[in-house]
Amino acid sequence: SSKHFIIECLDNGRSIFFRDVSRNGCYIDGELIHHSKILLQNSEHIISLALKENRAYKFIHLSGLFDVINLDERYLKANLLGSGSFANVYRAISHVTNTRRAIKIINKDQCEKQIGPGFSKYLYREVSIHGSVDHPCILRRFDVYHEKTDLFVEMEYAAGGALLDRIHKTYIMDEDECKFIFYQIGCALAYLHRLKIVHRDIKPANVLLMSNERETIAKLSDFGVAKYVYASSRYLNTTIAGTQQFMAPEVQFQTGHSTNADVWSFGMTLLNAYVGDTVFRLRGIRALNSVSHTKKDLKDIITKTLEKNTYARPDMTQLFRYPWFRDSACFERIQKLVQVQTGKFLSLPYER
């Protein structure tokens, strides 16, 4: 079709309608719309053309995405969970749902000083990418609000804190504990890469744990530097993004990077969990030699993820075909935990 759909605004933008005019139909959030007209009720919708899997556009109603609120009227703000150069994250109780939430408060003035005049584009990209994903091992983003000076992002609360805190408490984690967590983060990354999203800041501080139990649901968080990969080439972005200690060589040297940069950062994060801060003293893969009796399968995974040649480095789907990830018992325990606590089904990046 030369024309697929028409979006119409009525009542000064308060009512927005989607009308399909294509030959094969369109999908709104996975639901087929064929030669019909519907009201777009949410602030964000995914539009697919002809096939459900062909995600072509994202509709975003900005006036609905950034509602104006008084924070204290909506939340009871509690302790500080973490802070950055222009944002703080607090634990809070929602007065509306009486549930625990994490509230990220972004100061617009500080953000503009750090990023420059294009800061609003940066903020929009973060909240829109985060809001478009839905995976049991990715921290949920709920609503986004703003006041005159601040932007508020309401997110799922992770009672177990960051993986970084667990590493600091235990110094190192054993292989079984690492596998239980990184199995989940690997599934989340493979999901993002299928959607052509590169996270670009995989590190222990951005892996959140839902409880303090040894076996807990792990969730990937912080989409502050995430980006869509629109080209087919694996070399796309040339900007430096992320945290240097976990940054892939192609990112550091600005030779061009894509989703495979996340694979390197995944490997460095796994290595950091397994050997502790030794990974930074002995510079990467050599840190494995500091731990006796490391099994071959784990060595293979870490060695492959830290391959400097990006063409030789496996993607996340390929990585799950290595023996270390072929642990049915571990996956079944994870699957059961995810289903009980979230009601969702965790899928592997490949068919077993």
Residue 204 CA to its chain's centroid (Å): 13
Q: Name 281's Cβ contacts closer than 8 Å, sequence gap at least 6.
A: 287
Q: Determine the Cα–Cα distance for residues 289 and 271; give it in Å rounded to an integer.
A: 11
Copy the structure tokens of residue 100: 């625990």
Cα distance from N-terminal residue to C-terminal residue, the chain: 38
232-271 residues labelled b (16+ CB within 10 A) or e (exposed): eebebbeeebbbeebbbebbeeeeebbbbbbbbbbbbbbb
201 catalytically annotated: yes
Q: Would you say 59 and 44 are in contact if contact means Cβ atoms under 8 Å apart? A: yes
Q: Determine the Cα–Cα distance for residues 183 and 186; give it in Å rounded to an integer.
A: 5
**104 in a known ligand binding site:** yes
**Candidates 20, 143, 150, 201; catalytic one:** 201
Copy the structure tokens of residue 314: 């496996």
Copy the structure tokens of residue 122: 């940066």
> Which residues are annotated as catalytic?
201
Binding residues: 104
Binding residues for ATP: 104
